[in-house]
Amino acid sequence: MTASILSAAGTIVSVAVGVVAAGLVVFAIVYHAVRKKQGKSGCDCGCSGCAGCTACGSAKKKEEKNK
């Protein structure tokens, strides 16, 4: 009985790991795609440390689009 419960738990955890891993990859791709679409910086260097936080390529594109 205990063994079968453990086996079921193991299977559930394994499936969950697979789903979470796939989710993380999809999230990373979607996250970056959305940020790019929003015209946010893609460099991830940190805007307050950036000498040209409004001058990066994606922000420029957004500005041009708004014009």
CB 36 within 8 A of CB 59: no
d(Cα 14, Cα 20) in Å, to the nearest integer? 10
CB 55 within 8 A of CB 43: no
Site string for other proteins, 23-62 (x = CB under 8 A): -xx-xxx-xx---------xxxxxxxxxxxxxxxx--x--
**Of 21, 34, 37, 38, the one binding other proteins by CB under 8 A:** 21
Sites of contact with other proteins (CB under 8 A): 6-7, 9-11, 13-14, 17-18, 21, 24-25, 27-29, 31-32, 42-57, 60
